[in-house]
A and B are shown apart, each in its own frame.
Chain A
Amino acid sequence: MNASRGPARVLRDRVPTFGPEFARVVQRTRLTVVPRRRIRAPRMPFVTLVSAVLLGGVVGLLMFNTQMQQASFAAKELEEQAHNLGAREQTLRNDLQELRNPQRIALAAVEQGLVIPGGSCTVDLAERRVSGSCVPATSDSTPPLEGPAPRKPPALSPPDRVVVAGGQAAPGRHGTTRPGRDVAGSGARTR
Chain B
Amino acid sequence: MRVGFLVIAAVLSVFGGRLLQLQGVDPGQYAAMAAAENTVEIVLPAERGDILDRRGEPLAASVEGLMVVGDPSETGAQAPEIATFLAQRLGVDYFETLSRLRKKDSKFQYLARRVPSTLATDVMAEAEAAGLEGLSTRRDPVRTYPADDVAANLIGFVGTDEALGGFERTFDTYLSGKDGTARYEADAGTRIPLGDNTTVEAVDGKDLRTTIDRELQWYTQGVVRQAVLEAGGESGLAAIMDTRTGEVLALADYPTYDANKPGDYPRRDRGARSLNDHYEPGSVEKVLTLSALVDAGKVTARTRLRVPGELERQDRTIHDYFEHGLLRMTLAGVMAKSSNIGTVLAADRFDPGQLRSYLTKFGLGTPTGVGIGAEAPGLLPSGPAWTSQTADRIAFGQSLSVNALQMTAAVNTIANGGRYVSPSLVSGSATMDDGTVVGTDTSRTRRVVSEDAATQTMRMMERVIDPEVGVAPGAAVPGYRVAGKTGTAQRASSACGCYDGTFTVSFGGFAPADDPRFTIYVAVQAPRNGGGGGSVAGPVFSKLMAYTLERYGVRPTGTRPSQLPTTW
Contact = CB atoms under 8 A, between A and B. Distances in A.
Given A94-B146, A98-B146, A121-B479, A189 B87 contact: yes
Nearest to B261: A150
Interface stretch (A3-11, A32-40, A47-55, A65-73): A65-73
Interface-central residue, A106, A121, A143, A147, by most chain B CB under 10 Å: A143
Given A71-B193, A106-B218, A119-B546, A84 B61 contact: no
Interface string A163-187: 0000001000000000001110011
B477 interface: yes
B24 interface: no
A117 interface: yes
Given A100-B57, A132-B478, A132-B480, 9 more contacts: A69-B193, A75-B191, A94-B116, A103-B147, A143-B219, A151-B255, A151-B269, A182-B83, A188-B84
Interface in A86-133: 86-88, 90-91, 93-94, 97-98, 100-103, 106, 116-122, 131-133
A91 B63 contact: yes
B116 A91 contact: yes
Contacts of A101: 146-148, 150
B316 interface: no
A150 B146 contact: no
A51 B222 CA distance: 86
B150 A120 contact: no
Closest 8 CB pairs of A and B: A188-B94, A97-B146, A133-B478, A132-B479, A87-B117, A68-B193, A143-B222, A120-B550
Contact of B556 (A65, A75, A87, A131): A131
Interface in B74-128: 79-80, 83-84, 87-88, 93-95, 98, 116-119, 121
Nearest to A161: B95
A45 interface: no
A41 interface: no
Contacts of B269: 150-151
A154 B118 CA distance: 34
A145 B479 CA distance: 27
Interface-central residue, A72, A88, A135, A156, by most chain B CB under 10 Å: A72
Contact of B543 (A102, A118, A152): A118
B476 to A, nearest CB: 10
Contacts of A122: 555-556
B550 A147 contact: no
Nearest to B223: A143
Contact of A72 (B190, B215, B229): B190
B190 A102 contact: no
Nearest to A96: B146
Contacts of A75: 191
B546 A151 contact: no
A87 B118 contact: yes
Contact of A68 (B61, B194, B226): B194
Given A97-B58, A131-B556, A102 B150 contact: yes
Interface residues of B, number: 63
Interface of B: 57-58, 61-64, 79-80, 83-84, 87-88, 93-95, 98, 116-119, 121, 144, 146-148, 150, 189-194, 214-215, 218-219, 222-223, 225-226, 229, 254-255, 257-258, 263-267, 269, 477-480, 543, 546-547, 549-550, 555-556, 558
A152 B264 contact: yes
B118 A88 contact: yes
Given A71-B193, A103-B147, A188-B84, A151 B95 contact: no
A94 B87 contact: no
B229 A147 contact: yes
B478 A141 contact: no
A14 B214 CA distance: 124
Contacts of A20: none
Nearest to B142: A94
A112 B222 CA distance: 19
Contacts of A42: none
Contact of B550 (A84, A119, A187, A189): A119
28 contacts: A65-B193, A71-B193, A72-B193, A73-B190, A86-B64, A87-B64, A90-B62, A90-B63, A90-B117, A91-B117, A94-B116, A97-B58, A97-B144, A103-B147, A106-B218, A116-B219, A117-B550, A119-B478, A132-B480, A132-B555, A147-B225, A150-B269, A153-B263, A182-B83, A183-B94, A188-B84, A188-B87, A189-B87
B88 A118 contact: no
A9 B121 CA distance: 105
A182 B83 CA distance: 9
B479 A131 contact: yes
A154 B180 CA distance: 42
Contacts of A121: 479
A19 interface: no
Contacts of B257: 150
Nearest to B146: A97
Interface string A59-79: 000000100110111011000
B117 A84 contact: yes
B433 to A, nearest CB: 26
Contact of A76 (B61, B147, B191, B255): B191
